[in-house]
Amino acid sequence: MRGKRIRTTGKNLFAAAALFLPLAALLSGCGKRAALDLQTEAPDGLISVAFSEVGAESDWRVANSESMRTTFTEENGYEFYFEDAKGKQENQITTLRNYILQGVDYIVLAPVVETGWDEVLQEAKDAGIPVIVVDRMVDVENEDLYAAWVGSDFKKEGEVAVEWLEKYLEEQGRADEEIRILHVMGTLGASSQLGRTEGLEEGVAAHDNWEIAAQLQGDYTQAKTYEVVAEYLAESEDIDVIYCENDNSTLGAIQALDEAGISYGTDGDVILISFDATTVGLAACLEGSINLDVECNPLHGPRVEQIILQIEAGETPQKLTYVDETYFTPDTLTEELIAARGY
């Protein structure tokens, strides 16, 4: 259950801590005391929820941030704090420490990578602040360091892609052909990268005629993927499949293929497999440029709220919650379906 509620004068806790903590620490000669001096009871009974987001590297991420913002509004009874880590774990650790010093009611963490969280999560636990992990997972020694996690089964997403590819090649009469796969990975060490990579690698190991031609680092962005795929295609065009670990990456690969004059998609030479199923990805899928888009749903705001409401009610939330997801191919899509999906 939540302890004392606190509030700062501004919405940006990071800036508040940066401004006031050194002064208060100087006056009191004690950092911890300084943090307490900052705390005041929230007069309005709002629950303070402080979110540390990975960044804004993809359409998926923007939709995820928006889902949090539109869920944790004052009208819904929340005071919401947000920090964008710009893809850096060290920024997230600093942000979490500031949230802890401020004594927020809940911390929500979308971690950049899985490892390296034990110390700061122990600090949150010692301060009595429940941490809810969302999207990617944390790999910690003691699972009690966080209250709950909600996100996708990333390995299953990879397995879905592999199963689809197997069937598709069969339908095309290519089941026994040599298949060379160019693999563009997301942010290294992120659960989504690890799971989707594992799914693919296991699939390749199970097919004697499949081969990973190269593994490139696309970092989940269009720009980086364009750069690495263009560089790769300048050396070799002998590719049957490009497996990109998110939609923005796939758009970067499309850019590089266009430039190299290589055809792709339902009527082309290269099969494109993507993840996320964002509006931009599905639009490319509907027109036949992307052959398969595996869903990774970013609308976690209401899911995190459910967990908070359970804790508020004195209940213990389920430790791990996997979101149900599907996949899309050009023949299963319509403009109406894309428009109705909300991200």
Using CB under 6 A as the criterion, which residues of the chain lie in contact with ligand AHR when the complex forms? 57-58, 60-61, 135-136, 190, 192, 220, 246, 275-276, 296
Q: Are 248 and 57 in contact (CB under 8 A)?
A: yes
Residue 61 or 183: which CB sits closer to ligand AHR?
61
CB of 56 to ligand AHR, least distance (A): 9
Min dist CB 246 to ligand AHR, Å, is: 4
Taking the least distance from each CB to ligand AHR, the nearer of 105 and 295 is 295
Compute and round to an integer the Cα radius of gyration of the chain. Answer: 22
The nearest distance, CB 132 to ligand AHR, in angstroms, is: 16
Taking the least distance from each CB to ligand AHR, the nearer of 103 and 218 is 218
Do the Cβ atoms of 58 and 66 come closer than 8 Å? no
Enter the tokens of residue 240.
């049957």
Backbone angles phi, psi at 8, to 5 degrees: -110, 170
Shortest Å, Cβ 230 to ligand AHR: 21
Taking the C-alpha atoms of residue 256 and residue 236, their distance in angstroms, rounded to an integer, is: 13
Handedness of CA 280, 285, 286, 289 (dihedral sign): positive
Distance in Å, CB of 196 to ligand AHR, minimum: 8
Q: Say if CB 282 and CB 249 are below 8 A apart.
A: no
The whole-angstrom separation of Cα 293 and Cα 224 is 20
Of the two residues 5 and 300, which places its CB atom closer to ligand AHR in the complex? Answer: 300
Residue with tokens 């190991």: 205
d(CA 49, CA 30): 26
123 or 325: CB nearest ligand AHR: 325
Q: How far is the CB of 79 from ligand AHR (least distance, A)?
A: 26
Strand ordering across the sheet containing 210-217: 210-217, 179-185, 241-244, 271-276, 292-295, 327-328
Measured distance CA(75)–CA(78) in Å, rounded: 7
Could you tell me the CA-to-CA distances from 67 to 104, 196, 304 in Å, in that order? 20, 24, 10
| Min dist. Cβ of residue 57 to ligand AHR (A) | 5
Nearer to ligand AHR, 71 or 191 (CB): 191
**Closer CB to ligand AHR, residue 20 or residue 327?**
327
